[in-house]
Amino acid sequence: MSKQFDVIVIGGGPGGYIAAIRAAQLGFNVACIDEWKNAKGGPALGGTCTNVGCIPSKALLQSSEHFEHAGHGFADHGIKVSGLELDIGKMLARKDQVVKQNNDGITYLFKKNKITSFHGRGSFVKAAEGGYEIKVAGAAEETIVGKHIIVATGSNARALPGAAFDEENILSNDGALRIGAVPKKLALIGSGVIGLEMGSVWRRLGSEVTVLEALPTFLGAVDEQIAKEAKKAFDKQGLKIELGVKVGEIKSGKKGVSIAWTNAKGEAQTLDVDKLIVSIGRVPNTIGLNPEAVGLALDERGAITVDGDCKTNLPNVWAIGDVVRGPMLAHKAEEEGVAVAERIAGQHGHVNFNTIPWVIYTHPEIAWVGQTEQQLKAEGRAYKAGTFPFLANGRARALGDTTGMVKFLADATTDEILGVHMVGPQVSELISEAVVAMEFKASAEDIARICHAHPSLSEATKEAALAVDKRTLNF
Ligand code: FAD
Ligand code: NAI
């Protein structure tokens, strides 16, 4: 007799593990199947985010920022550093330790919530009495049955045709996070989120970095004014970003990688580098899931088809996170995981796609929520804009970090906040205030009337809200 569960979650990334925890909190008997292997072949819960995504990238961004500050930033504060050395081995080991702490944390949470954890690949076998039969192929093979199935199998890096990832010379996000020696020359294809974050890490550590981007505009999804400000900062740092390029043949050999490309003027170019990181987006992952066995529908991109509530075409089969439509973000996956568990329990389940924040953890950081100015213009919506530069913020001056601004967009008539866009110091934290405000349908005036601590970077948020009504106090 197969083991029976109320809920089986396939995939233990931020979507899956959070769904499992919420379902267990709601009193269900829950199993989670995840196939990720650590270096020793054991389980490593947390998916892409924990193992080769959000967490290790932020660990390296932090370490590389410390290195850059020590080398270039401290002098302004009257601190002299001599004999600065980089121990890349130790830096990577620290990053691995941070990953392990997060893996272990999820294992602990599973035990605490009495979730049965299976290490192996989960695949659909058939619809069965009482739900669906799922095969778990790990060290051993067994079949379990779940009344509800939540698919949270995530995504994989997209490769360029003719340039398969070897993780030696041509790297995905995985290889990009464990380069053992700082490459003298590094190329990235795609100046999206990974291109900018990973490009920043290796530039700070000493690589000469070139980013080749197909689109003619920089960070097209970001508010234009903010993207322009960010580009200026990256140019100043020496991150070479080529826009409007067409990438041609890529040859990889013992000496590195040679990339043929055409620049925006149509001129043929060749770039020879030690390593190449390809960061041109990610593809939904259903490898080995065997969706055909039960007739689970996929769309033309290979994503599992779901409605607004994460319901698939099959009764009691749900899908969340990177494997479905919508932004590929850990917190979006988590929100969907919680909402689905609550829907299974007959509750309402709430995900507001209009208030999902985005953060790019470069320096300056970029963060936004809601609509951009170009989107509002395209919609023909009447809006008011207010901006405030960090240059006029006392805390930013004390930090010595005055690049960037906060920008508010509010409805011209009702003053409801429609979007908040930031580039500057610690805006990954500042954006939360804007998310809360938008979730509560606040007006710009609401933020402008709230007392913000002085001196704090958050005063730039208040001042930008005041700027909507053309009454900044410090600018
Ligand atoms: P995943 O995290 O991909 O997890 C899926 C899990 O399912 C994996 O463990 C996989 O092994 C397992 N699996 C797949 N198929 C099966 C199967 N058949 N059986 C068993 N197990 C299976 N997002 C942010 O919000 N903030 C960031 O700062 C951020 N940084 C990132 C940096 C990088 C370099 C990358 C690559 C991504 C980053 N992301 C970030 C995106 C984020 O990692 C994803 O949006 C998030 O991990 C999606 O969660 P998920 O649960 O849907 O899938
Ligand atoms: P992306 O979608 O952010 O950027 C890909 C870039 O590659 C785009 O600018 C695109 O125009 C460009 N591109 C596509 N094909 C190309 C080609 N043939 N030649 C040159 N350029 C090409 O994807 P990325 O950076 O791979 O990241 C994947 C996803 O992971 C992100 O969209 C995001 O959802 C998530 N992520 C989130 C992070 C965060 O929240 N801070 C950090 C890193 C990743």
pLDDT per residue of the chain (475 residues) written in tens, 0 to 9: 789 999 999 999 999 999 999 999 999 999 999 999 999 999 999 999 999 999 999 999 999 999 999 999 999 999 999 999 999 999 999 999 999 999 999 999 999 999 999 999 999 999 998 899 999 999 999 999 999 999 999 999 999 999 999 999 999 999 999 999 999 999 999 999 999 999 999 999 999 999 999 999 999 999 999 999 999 999 999 999 999 999 999 999 999 999 999 999 999 999 999 999 999 999 999 999 999 999 999 999 999 999 999 999 999 999 999 999 999 999 999 999 999 999 999 999 999 999 999 999 999 999 999 999 999 999 999 999 999 999 999 999 999 999 999 999 999 999 999 999 999 999 999 999 999 999 999 999 999 999 999 999 999 999 999 999 999 999 9
Determine the residue of 62, 194, 245, 269 to mutate for testing ligand 2's pocket, defined as the one with the most ligand atoms within 8 A of the Cβ atom: 194
Determine the residue of 18, 49, 196, 283 to mutate for testing ligand 1's pocket, defined as the one with the most ligand atoms within 8 A of the Cβ atom: 49
Which letter, b or e, does each residue of 108-127 get, where b requires 16 or more Cβ atoms within 10 Å of its Cβ?
A: ebbeeeebbbbbbbbbbbeb
**What CA–CA distance (Å, rounded) separates 110 from 31?**
9
Give the per-residue pLDDT at 1: 75
Q: Which amino acid is at 451?
A: C
The CB of 289 under 6 Å from ligand 1? The reply is yes
Size of the chain, expressed as the number of residues it contains = 475
Domains of the chain, start order: 3-157+283-351 (3.50.50.60), 170-280 (3.50.50.60), 355-468 (3.30.390.30)
The CB of 407 under 6 Å from ligand 1? The reply is no
Determine the residue of 61, 193, 219 to mutate for testing ligand 2's pocket, defined as the one with the most ligand atoms within 8 A of the Cβ atom: 193
The CB of 33 under 6 Å from ligand 1? The reply is yes
Q: Are 262 and 246 in contact (CB under 8 A)?
A: yes
Query: Of ligand 1's atoms, which has the minimum distance to the CA of residue 282?
Result: 36
The residues, any chain, with a CB within 8 Å of residue 178's CB and separated by 6 or more, are 92
**What CA–CA distance (Å, rounded) separates 156 from 417?**
35
Which among 3, 8, 5 is positioned nearest to 317, based on CA atoms? 8
Beta bridge mates, 105? none
The CB of 154 under 6 Å from ligand 1? The reply is yes
The CB of 281 under 6 Å from ligand 1? The reply is no
SS (H, E, C) 90-117: HHHHHHHHHHHHHHHHHHHHHHHCCCEE
Tokens of 242: 């080529």
Active site residues: 454
Ligand nearest to the CA of 277: 2
Task: Tell how strand 282-284 and strand 275-278 pair up.
Answer: unpaired
Give the per-residue pLDDT at 60: 98
State how far Cα 422 lies from the chain centre.
Answer: 17
